[in-house]
Structure 1
Amino acid sequence: MAVDSAEHTRKAGSGRPARAPAPLHRRAWLRLSRNSAFRTLGPFVPVVGLWWLIAALEVFPPAFFIGPDRVVVEFAELLRKGVLPGYLADSLERLAYGAGFGLAIGIVMGFLTALSLRVRKALWPILLFFQAIADIAWLPIVIVWFGFSLTAVTFVIVYTVVFPLMLAVVSGVEQVPRELVLAARSLGAGRLRVFWEVTVPGALPSIATGVRTGLGYGWRALVAAEIIVGTSGIGFMMFDARRVGDVSQVFLGMVVLGILWYMLDALILAPFEKATVERWGLVRGMEDDE
């Protein structure tokens, strides 16, 4: 009792009123905001609700605008027939080829451009020139060169990925503090060791951002290439559905593309970028804010 009385006297003497408990709705919201499933799916609830409402009110003719229920039915039907899995596998295969070659070429050429003054003087004007040419502008000549083939689509994706990644690598190398390089050399490190232990780690945050950006561009280039030169894939499915007037497959294709990229970015690219940046101390980890 004496301890309780002393504690009560201390609180009363401090002049601070006891904090009232948070309202029930605020506590419920805080609990929901900590749930990973709610953080992922919650923002889409009002979007889907608005979509369904516009379709139900027939703001646009049903032949041109359908609701999410029709998309779900079309998804189940194409899944049952095996059409959607086949198209999806083709799109992912093309993305894997294009992204693999694009990342390899972009990273190597980016480091060569950043570390060699002669290479940079020779390639920098060319880099800026081709960076300004949209990937879709290559499609007519690519069709002439390679026809309607996997090579044509791969070429467009590689072209789209390489240049943003090269710029990111050059930017990352330039951000490495010169003092670190000089300190490593003064301690006896050779050029190769300085490259692997100083330059590459210092440039990794920028490279991670470039990979994420380049693959985003490549994903959009894949869809554009499939629409124009493809004979299968999600982009081709959407274009072929437009030709026969089936808007349900067009809407389904957009939903599938959005979900796939969201999953790829949320599960692989964003964690890779976040871990890389946090690893080298440029930002605080999320646990530091809690």
Structure 2
Amino acid sequence: MTTVSAKPVRTTARPPRPAPLWRRLVRTGTFRTLGPFVPVIALWWLVAALEVFPESFFVGPPEVVDKLGELLEKGILPGYLSDSLTRLGYGVGFGLLIGLPLGYAVAMLPRLRRFCWPILLFFQAIADIAWLPIVIVWFGFSLTSVTFVLVYTIVFPLMLSVVAGVEQVPRELIRAARSLGAGRWRVFLEVIVPGALPSVAGGIRTGLGYGWRALVAAEIIVGTSGVGFMMFDARRVGDISQVFLGMAVLGALWYALDALILAPFERATVERWGMVRRLEADG
């Protein structure tokens, strides 16, 4: 009886096919950042080219780009941007200095919370722009008026976020820290503050978003410079391309600020201190 030995079959592994060019392009950070704006700009261009609206009411991207070059050459747009960012810096700084301590105080002191909670909800419901008439009477057309509106807009969402963050800290962690001999102040600094940071980071991001819109509204009504004032002044003289430019600058600047600073800060805070392993967000 003879046995036939099976010959080994040689298999040649095929090298993996490279991904198509369009798929590699879609995966790039540049495409994910700028790609969604391509159809928007194309639609804008098409509506302007078809003259759906009169040119005095609606202009296309080429006119806005020309206006951008003109204002950059004259130094007008950099000056207005500098004024707006300076006001935003003042508002954010004072808003954080006021909102964070008050938020933690309301969250940690039950009696203070019972007293202040209706007040927080009441003022949170009043829009920032509703304060502008009385603020003009109090402070006039000044930086103080704009700063007041910005601080008001940022403080209340931030305080509510701090309270929500403190409530989300597991009680087990607090009891464990106390059982190990940690005092009240140490529990606050090493357990409650880090545990509330994810919610606080989200509150800062939300508050700054509200503050950015409040800044534009305040500059339109009480400002004497800034991007909001530039848009309102352009409307007065009938320069619609400058109004479109102001809108584009505001959106692009906030998108850059959020994508480069606020979203990474929130994501890093949640991953470092949060009770979840990872924040699934694309900015």
With normalisation by structure 1, the TM-score equals 0.90
Q: What is the aligned partner in structure 2 of residue 14 from structure 1?
A: none
Q: What is the aligned partner in structure 2 of residue 182 from structure 1?
A: 175
Q: What is the aligned partner in structure 2 of residue 87 from structure 1?
A: 80
Instruction: Measure, in 2, the Cα distance between the counterparts of 1:98 and 1:111.
Output: 20
Counterpart of 2:57 in 1: which secondary structure? coil
Q: 1:254 aligns with which of 247, 261, 270?
A: 247
**Deviations along 1:158-203, whole A, 9 cap, x unmatched?**
0000000000000000000001000000000111111111001110
Counterpart of 2:20 in 1: which secondary structure? helix
Q: What is the aligned partner in structure 2 of residue 13 from structure 1?
A: none
Instruction: Measure, in 2, the Cα distance between the counterparts of 1:28 and 1:213.
Output: 38
Q: What is the aligned partner in structure 1 of residue 137 from structure 2?
A: 144
- Aligned residues, how many? 275
Q: What is the aligned partner in structure 2 of residue 78 from structure 1?
A: 71
Q: Tell me, yes or no, if structure 1 residue 204 matches structure 2 residue 208.
A: no
Instruction: Measure, in 2, the Cα distance between the counterparts of 1:285 and 1:4.
Output: 48
**Deviations along 1:257-286, whole A, 9 cap, x unmatched?**
001000000000000000111112544448
Return the letter of the residue paired with 2:236: R
Residues 52-71 of structure 1 mapped to structure 2, 5 A cutoff: 52-71=45-64
User: In the superposition, relative to structure 1, how do residues 203 and 123 fare at CA in structure 2: closer, same or farther (>3 Å)?
Assistant: same
Q: 1:49 aligns with which of 42, 50, 71?
A: 42
> Could you tell me whether the CA contact under 8 Å between 2:197 and 2:274 is conserved in 1?
no
Counterpart of 2:9 in 1: which secondary structure? helix
Instruction: Measure, in 2, the Cα distance between the counterparts of 1:4 and 1:245.
Output: 83
What root-mean-square deviation, in Å, do the aligned CA atoms of Structure 1 and Structure 2 show?
A: 2.1
Q: 2:28 aligns with which of 32, 35, 39?
A: 35
Instruction: Measure, in 1, the Cα distance between the counterparts of 2:38 and 2:28.
Output: 15
Instruction: Measure, in 1, the Cα distance between the counterparts of 2:110 and 2:215.
Output: 34
Identity of aligned residues (%): 74
**Deviations along 1:121-179, whole A, 9 cap, x unmatched?**
12111111100100000000000000000000000000000000000000000000001
User: In the superposition, relative to structure 1, how do residues 49 and 4 fare at CA in structure 2: closer, same or farther (>3 Å)?
Assistant: farther
Q: Tell me, yes or no, if structure 1 residue 5 matches structure 2 residue 9.
A: yes
Return the letter of the residue paired with 1:227: I
**Deviations along 1:200-242, whole A, 9 cap, x unmatched?**
1110000000000000000000000000000000000000111
Counterpart of 1:5 in 2: which secondary structure? coil
Give the superposition deviation at 1:5.
1.4
Give the superposition deviation at 1:68.
0.5
Q: Tell me, yes or no, if structure 1 residue 118 matches structure 2 residue 122.
A: no
Instruction: Measure, in 2, the Cα distance between the counterparts of 1:56 and 1:32.
Output: 29
User: In the superposition, relative to structure 1, how do residues 285 and 122 fare at CA in structure 2: closer, same or farther (>3 Å)?
Assistant: closer
Return the letter of the residue paired with 1:5: V
In structure 2, stretches of 5+ residues that fail to align are 1-5
> Segments of 4+ in structure 1 off by > 3 A?
18-22, 281-287
In structure 1, stretches of 5+ residues that fail to align are 9-17
Q: What is the aligned partner in structure 2 of residue 267 from structure 1?
A: 260
Instruction: Measure, in 1, the Cα distance between the counterparts of 2:60 and 2:241.
Output: 9
